[in-house]
Amino acid sequence: MPTQHDRTVPPTSGSSRRGLAATTSAALRRHRRTLAGAAVRIVGLCGLAGLLMTAAVFALAWPCFTRMRNQRIWYQQMEDPYLHDHSDLTLVALGALPFFLLLLGTGGAALQTVCSRAVAAVSHEPSKDDGSWALSFARLRPVLTVYALRGLIVWPLPLLAVEVAYDLTGPQIDTEDQILERGSWLYTCVAASPVVAVFAAVLLRLALNLAPAAAADGLGPGAALRRSWSLSWTRAGAVRVVALSLPLAALTAGVIRLVVQLALPLRPLVRGWIEEATGNFFAAYYAGILAPVIVGILVTAAVVLPITCTAFAALHAQLRSSRTSPRGSVNTAGATA
């Protein structure tokens, strides 16, 4: 019985023989208006939703801000230094983190879908739908599911390793609760385990980089993850995935750092406005910290994410065609002989 991999039709035109850079630039150039419009709409809507969610988080955390303000006033009256405890705010932020990740994943899935269609149009691949560029929930769902599954596969291992290493080698060491002897080989192995776990997570993440593009190409979530794994764990696939991922990661980090630095003047403006409006220094302080970061994330997403999604969609199409085309040509040659 043919699998979902077998039903995928490889590109048949000469454009499939283009290089990765040529295919990516052609898709970005020919469909620049569509991609730019989609990026502006998706990032704008996600930014608006993110601001509303941030406001809701601040509203939920307002009792913490009020308690910090009252404690600060009391310590000032006692003429003692005050170091505020932000553990309650950390718990609120961790509780809200899944919703922000869902928002980021939805935006990334929507943009990946549009970019994959642009690459398919450049490669003259057969369309699996009516050819409309409109987004639909049915088209976004497998890509969003891939993001969620990939996160569940990649990140639990390093988080668990960090937690276990902290419990076994943390501040309780050299006390009556000591579990491992400092300087022993077991202590050294446990202390180094987070580094090994992060390295393994990076390898897993690289092997699954093509999964969203595969899901946007029409595969289900499980088949997309398997497709990405099989394409990446080859000599040619691994080299190309790493060669594409590292520059894009450096570009993303560089752009977000540059934009955050340029947006730093927003920090005192936001802090002063919120403190004047609410009278709460701590709410204004944390809002001022977040303002440049939010601007950096939104600008970086609008500028870098279309390039990244298009490049990985082009790489997926290239690796898939390189796997299927030689096999088909060999079979054809054998039949002719």
For 289-299, the pLDDT digits (tens) are: 999 999 999 99
Give the number of other CB atoms < 10 A from CB of residue 274.
20
* Pair of tokens at residue 217: 């190409």
Higher pLDDT, residue 332 or 152: 152
- Out of 145-159, 181-195, 269-283, least confident range: 181-195
pLDDT of amino acid 73: 77
**Alpha-carbon gap, residue 304 to 298, rounded angstroms:** 10
Higher pLDDT, residue 310 or 183: 310
Instruction: Note the helical H segments in the chain.
Output: 4-7, 20-30, 32-60, 62-77, 87-123, 137-154, 156-169, 185-207, 211-216, 221-232, 235-262, 266-278, 281-336
Max mean pLDDT among 124-128, 163-167, 258-262, 328-332 falls in 258-262
**Alpha-carbon gap, residue 84 to 88, rounded angstroms:** 11
DSSP code string of 14-43: GGGGS-HHHHHHHHHHHTHHHHHHHHHHHH
The candidate with the shortest Cα–Cα distance to 16, out of 330, 329, 318, is 318
Is 80 exceeded by the pLDDT of residue 179?
A: no
pLDDT of amino acid 125: 57
pLDDT band at residue 2 using 50, 70 and 90 as cut-offs: very low
pLDDT band at residue 3 using 50, 70 and 90 as cut-offs: very low
pLDDT band at residue 337 using 50, 70 and 90 as cut-offs: very low
Is 80 exceeded by the pLDDT of residue 85?
A: no
pLDDT of amino acid 20: 83
Per cent of the chain over pLDDT 90 is: 42
- Out of 58-62, 83-87, 220-224, 282-286, least confident range: 83-87
Max mean pLDDT among 12-16, 151-155, 232-236 falls in 151-155
Q: What is the mean pLDDT of residues 82-88?
A: 73
pLDDT band at residue 9 using 50, 70 and 90 as cut-offs: very low
